[in-house]
Amino acid sequence: MDPSSDYHFLNQILWRRVKLTLVCGIFEGVLQHVDPNKIVVLKKVKNVETGRSVPGVKMFFGHEILNVELLDEVEQGGEKASSVSLNTERTSMDKMKDEDLNVCEPPFPATEAPTTSLLNDFKYSPSEEEEVTYTVIDQFQQKFGAAMLHIKKQSVLSVAAEGANVCRHGKLCWLQVATNSRVYLFDIFLLGSRAFNNGLQMVLEDKRILKVIHDCRWLSDCLSHQYGILLNNVFDTQVADVLQFSMETGGFLPNCISTLQESLIRHLKVAPKYLFFLEERQKLIQENPEVWFTRPLSPSLLKILALEATYLLPLRLVLLDEMMSDLTTLVDGYLNTYREGSADRLGGTEPTCMELPEELLQLKDFQKQRRERAAKEYRMNAQGLLETRESPSDTFHPFRKAVLSTLPPLEETDSWINPSNLP
């Protein structure tokens, strides 16, 4: 049977249980995806020789498959098992690295595709207020090139990632990239490293394109050690949140960094109910760390991926405004220094004194007032950090300041900041 016939036959038996005979083993599983390049994806995989089940999904490549057999099952009405032998002749494509194989768009029929029990239990349904349009990039021939052309024209974009323990020891499954008008979800699990070789690496390393990320440490480690990519020119919203907190409290630092959920509530004033998708995301990961390996990924989970990246761009703008607020105030004072004062102060056309002007000395007063206000709102720990949570492992409370302000007065033995000791 020629390769094209193989492809059409296998597409007709999607979502049915098959047995693959390989050069070096035999596997059974539900046929989830097949493309003309002879990449076959199974889920609920079992190694027939060892009897062990393989978690998540597993990819097989044409050059290693000797035979595909359709197994008899009750729902198949007692049909006889059918089989097809794939062309095992090694072509130049077969000899390429696994990650360099083209992956065509999976023909996932929405009405036929069953979901796992985990996704059936997924109760979250994004509201209309959270509508977001996204494009899934899981093949090179049609969508990838157009996406890269659009992305390379941007000066600012947001980046998020999902996978299993995303770092040098884990596995990157999804890379989300959002611009002001579009959101792209790159399926790295299917595309492999070729996605980076064909343009994503250039974007991630480009010093002219600003990448907005919340906690870039994990993704930076993963990209560097697994793909040889040095992430560059990053605006990290988690770092910006700490800097803004320090400015807001007159120089103090918090005892904890903020989650994306905290940052969105604090700075963008997003109602917690609209961020429920972040809580559900965390719950799903705890229940199944390999949830992002599922193919096809449900629309609800795809929307979570898109929303994660979408919120980062407006968050950056608000953080910039907050961090620049002092500069704006001081410049406003500078503008009025001479034009609203007496002409007698202007002895000549050139400034004759380089002492720090009174208008800029206000910054010292700003800092003192903020430290005094922070003394009333926060407790200081032994390291001199303000306790935004009781401990770094505490669950997030979106109204931490409001809660602190309602607490009863503490006894003298409690370690609140003493305003009289402030500089």
Which range, of 56-70, 157-171, 259-273, averages the lowest pLDDT? 56-70
| pLDDT value, residue 56 | 62
Lowest mean pLDDT among 131-135, 184-188, 231-235: 131-135
83-84 sheet: strands from edge to edge: 53-61, 39-47, 25-34, 17-22, 65-70, 83-84
Give the integer Cα–Cα distance in Å for 232 and 115. 38
Residue identified by tokens 């499954």 is 173
Greatest mean pLDDT range, 61-70, 209-218, 351-360: 209-218
Q: Is 251 left (phi over 0), alpha (psi -120 to 50) or beta?
A: left
Q: Give CA 246 to chain center in angstroms.
A: 26
CATH superfamily of 134-238+292-321: Ribonuclease H-like superfamily/Ribonuclease H (3.30.420.10)
pTM: 0.65
* Residues contacting 337, CB < 8 A, separation 6+: 357, 359
Q: What average pLDDT score do residues 221-231 get?
A: 97
Question: What does the pLDDT average to over 99-111?
Answer: 38
Rounded to the nearest 5 percent, the helix, strand and coil shares of the chain are: 45, 20, 40
Helix (H) or strand (E) holding 2: none
Of 29, 128, 8, which is closest to residue 73 (Cα–Cα)? 29
Q: What pLDDT score was predicted for residue 352?
A: 60
As a whole number of angstroms, the distance between CA 179 and CA 252 comes to 34
Beta bridge partners of 25: 22
Angle at which helices 260-267 and 312-323 pack, to 10 degrees? 60
Residue range 329-345, pLDDT digits in tens: 889 888 887 777 666 66
In sequence order, what DSSP letters do the residues of 289-330 get, joined into one string?
TTGGG-SSPPHHHHHHHHHHHHTHHHHHHHHHHHHTHHHHHH
Which residue reads 């020629």 in tokens? 2
For residue 215, what are its two tokens? 């906690």
Examine domains 3-70 and 134-238+292-321 and report if their fold is the same: no
pLDDT value, residue 106? 39
The structural domains of the chain, with segments of one domain joined by +, span 3-70, 134-238+292-321
Domain spanning 3-70, CATH class: mainly beta
- Whole-Å CA distances, 4 to 37, 68, 71, 190: 10, 15, 22, 21
Share of the chain above pLDDT 70, in %: 72
Q: Given this model, what pLDDT does residue 401 score?
A: 44
